[in-house]
Amino acid sequence: GLVNTKQMFSKAMAGKYAIPAYNFNNLEQLQAIVTACVETDSPVIIQVSKGARSYANETMLRYMAMGAVQMAREAGSKIPICLHLDHGDSFELCKSCIDSGFSSVMIDGSHLPFDENVALTKKVVEYARQHDVTVEGELGVLAGIEDEVSAEHSTYTKPEEVEDFVKKTGVDSLAISIGTSHGAYKFKLKPGESVPPLRFDILDECEKRIPGFPIVLHGASSVLPEYVELINSYGGKMDGAVGVPEDQLRKAAASAVCKINIDSDGRLAVTAKIREYFAKDPKEFDPRKYLGEARKELINLIKHKNQTVLGSAGNA
C-alpha cells in the first residue's frame, strides 16, 4: 500500500539524493508519474493540493493513488509510493486527508507568526502520529513574482528558528525558503541578467542546526527553455518564464534536501505538446491522441528528473 516518508527520507539522506514529489490532478499525469518512476526504479511522492482536490474530487484522487500502487505492483515493481497533501492550510483539511488514507501531509503555517505556526503544526503532528502519517512543516515564505524586489520581499527561513520549530512541533520534515518560488516566473530578470543562485548559505546554516533532518524544497521547477520556446512558437505567450537551473537542484539533492517539489515543469511539458499537436494536426479531435502525446513527454521529463537531477533513480 501507500507508505509515509520516514524510510524514503532516511535512505535519501544516507544516499545523498532527493525524493521527487510530483503534483497530480488527472489520470494522464498520474500514469506518467507511475510509469516513469517504475521504469527508473525510483521512490516517489505523489501530491495533491487543495486546488487538485476541488478540481478532481478528493475521493477520486485517493482511489487513483491506490490504483497507481496496484498498477506498479502488477508491473512487478516494488517502488515505495507516498500520497501526500501539498500545502494543507488547516488542521481540518489535514485531518480529513489523514482519516481518508493519505500517508503524509503538509501543514503550511509559514505565513503565520512563529508561535502560531508552531501551535498549528504541533496539533497536526499529534493527530498524524496516531495514524502513522508523516508531517511536513514550513518556515519562511517563498518569494512570489508579484514581489517588486523579490530578494527583499521574500522571507528567507531564519536558521536560528529551525531547531526550536522542529523540537516543539515534532515534524518529520521541514520546507525552507532559500530563493525558490512557485510557478513559471520565478525570477524577474533584466536584459542580460542571469538567475541568482539559491541561498545555499542559508541551507548550510539550517543543516548545522538540525543535522540529519530532512529538508524540503518547494518551487523547484526548472522551467525548461525548450518547453517555453515550444509553447511560444505555437501561439503561447510565456515570455519571461524562468526557473531554478538544474545544477542548483543537483547540488541541493546531494545535501539534506530530501524532497524536491515539481509541478510547473510538468504543466509546461503537457502544454507544449498539446499546442504542438493542435498546430500540426488541426483535424484531430480524439483527446487520447493529444493527451497521449502529452503523457509521453511527461514520462520523458520525469525520467530525466529522477535520473539526472534528483538522483532518485535506482534507489527504490
Q: How far is it, in rounded angstroms, from Cα 37 to Cα 288?
A: 22
Judged by CB under 5 A, the chain residues 213 through 252 that form the site for Zn ion are: 218
Asked if residue 18 binds Na ion (CB under 5 A), the reply is yes
Asked if residue 275 binds Zn ion (CB under 5 A), the reply is no
195-212 as b/e, with b when 16 or more CB fall inside 10 Å?
Answer: beebbeebbebbbebbee
Q: Are 169 and 118 in contact (CB under 8 A)?
A: yes
Q: How far is it, in rounded angstroms, from Cα 49 to Cα 61?
A: 11
Judged by CB under 6 A, the chain residues 7 through 46 that form the site for ligand 13P are: 23
Compute the least distance from the CB of residue 89 to Zn ion, in Å: 12
Give me the 49-88 binding string for ligand G3H, x by CB under 6 A, dash otherwise.
x-xx---------------------------------xx-
> Active-site residue 86, yes or no?
yes
Residue 30 or residue 52: which is nearer to ligand G3H going by CB? 52
Interacting residue with ligand G3H among 263, 265, 276, 297 (CB under 6 A): 263
Q: Are 262 and 312 in contact (CB under 8 A)?
A: no
Residue 4 or residue 181: which is nearer to ligand 13P going by CB? 181
Region at 86 (left for phi over 0; alpha for psi -120 to 50; beta for the rest): beta
Directed axis angle between helix 264-280 and helix 27-39, to 10°? Answer: 110
In one-letter notation, the amino acid at residue 289 is K
**Partner touching 314 among Na ion, ligand G3H, Zn ion, none, CB below 5 to 8 Å by kind:** none
Residues that bind ligand 13P (CB under 6 A): 23, 86-87, 182-183, 218-221, 261-265
Residues that bind Zn ion (CB under 5 A): 218
